[in-house]
Amino acid sequence: MTVATNDQVRLLLDEVVDPEIPVLTIADLGVLRDVAVSEGSVLVTITPTYSGCPAMDLIRSEIASTLEANGFSDYSIETVFSPAWTTDWMTEEAKVKLRDYGIAGPAPVEPVVSGIGYQVSAAVCPLCRSDETRMVSEFGSTACKALMVCSSCGEPFDLFKAL
Amino acid sequence: MTGFATMTDPAAAYVLRHGDDNLVLAQRLSEWVSLGPELEEDIALANVALDHLGVATHLLGHASQLVGGGTTDDDLAFQRTEREFTNVVLVEQPNGDFAHTMARQLFMDAYQRLLWEALAVSEDAILAGIAAKAHKESLYHFRHTSGWVVRLGDGTDESHTRMQAAVDNLWRYTGELFEMDDLDRQMVESGVGVDLGALSGPWLHAIAAVAADAMIALPDEVTQRGGGRRGFHTEHLGHLLSEMQWMQRTYPGLEW
């Protein structure tokens, strides 16, 4: 049995990255909600980004294999829905990592305005930093991203949607 | 296996009916994959389908826990018969042309935006958590769908005619969304459920706003067709289920 503290386990779990955006760890994303070690048993709590996020199964199995590789056999992984995940949990450091990877980070989540609201706030191009950008589609290569194009440099890029 | 129709746990039955709405709608939307009118929209429809499938997975999972006895979400999805599905009949209607898919989606998005907001404060904490998450997703579904309804309705003569026909054809299935039965009333009383009747006013308000922008006339009162919550479906659900379930029916318990 491995004896460890909550912080040591958290450090180990920094190896677990989002399979779709491998520059971000599950802690960067805010998917990792809690780590609790008690009498040698580890409880890891995670929350999904989007209801249908297909990466969750893989994330769960990577947490398991990371723990097992480090000698933990007594662990459980729980999924919670509340409070609902928000991009506001993403650290500033994570947003810089995203930008360097070519994905525009999410704007702060604005309070929900009633009414129709067709408009989505624009983003800064991660390549040339121009704010002359427009949305091609609110839905991109993964559930969490929208497809954008920069009017200044002409390059398409992904935007991590504010949720 | 004993039929799920005998399911007597009201809390499970309540969670399951909303799960069924999402499961059937997800299955319908995913029929568009590779057939969308343009690449971006193909991806968008798949994304929206995935959101609904995710909500369905969580709700069926929760329902299966409430049922107990080792029942799983897969059992509920793949081993119930048509008569045991309790989705509203709107979601099982065929995709038709793109305008029909968008009209069906507009009606559901506007409904779910209100439904999830109300269920987010349910006394059932798990249901509340799933609803709070789904609520955020329904907001951008509605934004996306209403954008298309306006583009088509206020577009060419052809697109306008098709959008109007879609709204006219599907309007008869919208009344069921707000019908209250004994289970609904019981769930409202226990603080788990939603007073659906109270959602119909705000729903109509939202639909009317989009329709006005889209130059679409909303139909006058028409005879409404419901029955889905009691397992009485239109002919389309059986065909959908036979495709969705055939693998598990042929090889029960098969895993990847």
- The pLDDT tens digits for B114-156 are 999 999 999 999 999 999 999 999 998 999 999 999 999 999 9
Across the interface, which of B46, B125, B147 has its CB nearest the CB of A118? B147
Nearest CA in chain A to B207: A116
Q: What residues does each domain of chain A span? A: 6-85, 88-160
Indicate the average pLDDT of chain A: 87
The residue with tokens 């599907």 is B170
Peptide bond into B10 cis (omega under 30): no
Indicate the average pLDDT of chain B: 95
B150 near A148, Cβ under 8 Å?
no
- The pLDDT tens digits for A21-46 are 999 999 999 999 999 999 889 999 99
Q: Which distant-in-sequence residues (6+ apart) come within 8 Å of A107 by Cβ?
A: A121, A123, A162
Mean local confidence (pLDDT), B15-42: 96
- The pLDDT tens digits for A128-153 are 999 899 888 888 888 888 889 999 99
> Measuring CA to CA, how many Å separate B127 from each of A81, B24, B62, B67, B135?
9, 19, 8, 15, 12
B52 near B26, Cβ under 8 Å?
yes
Q: What pLDDT was estimated at residue A116? A: 44
CATH of B4-247, one of 1.20.1440.230, 1.20.1260.10, 1.10.10.10, 3.40.50.300: 1.20.1260.10
Angle at B131 between CA B128 and CA B137, to 5 degrees: 155
Q: CB–CB of B136 and A118 under 8 A? A: no
ipTM, interface predicted TM-score of the complex = 0.84
Long-range CB pairs of B191-199, under 8 A, 24+ apart, other chains included: B191/B122, B191/B123, B192/B11, B192/B14, B192/B122, B192/B123, B192/B124, B192/B127, B193/B14, B193/B119, B193/B122, B194/B115, B194/B118, B194/B119, B194/B122, B195/B118, B196/B115, B199/B111, B199/B114, B199/B115, B199/B118
B180 near B154, Cβ under 8 Å?
no
In the predicted structure, residue B6 carries a pLDDT above the cut 80: no
Q: What residues does each domain of chain B span? A: 4-247
CATH topology of domain A6-85: GMP Synthetase; Chain A, domain 3 (3.30.300)
Nearest CA in chain A to B134: A51
Strands (E), A22-102: 32-38, 41-46, 75-79
Displacement of CA B152 from its chain's centroid (Å): 22
In the predicted structure, residue A98 carries a pLDDT above the cut 90: yes
- Candidates A45, A116, A121, partner chain B, best to mutate (most B CBs within 10 A): A116
The residue with tokens 């506007």 is B110
Residue B133 distance to chain A (closest CA, Å) = 5
Rounded to whole angstroms, the Cα distance separating A145 from A118 reads: 17
- The pLDDT tens digits for B73-130 are 999 999 999 999 999 999 999 999 999 999 999 999 999 999 999 999 999 999 999 9
- The pLDDT tens digits for B49-69 are 999 999 999 999 999 999 999
Q: What pLDDT was estimated at residue B172? A: 97
Q: What pLDDT was estimated at residue B3? A: 53
In the predicted structure, residue A112 carries a pLDDT above the cut 70: no
Across the interface, which of A48, A81, A139 has its CB nearest the CB of B43? A139
CB contacts under 8 A, B 36-75 vs A, are 40-41, 43-44, 46-48, 50-55, 57-58
B89 near B225, Cβ under 8 Å?
yes
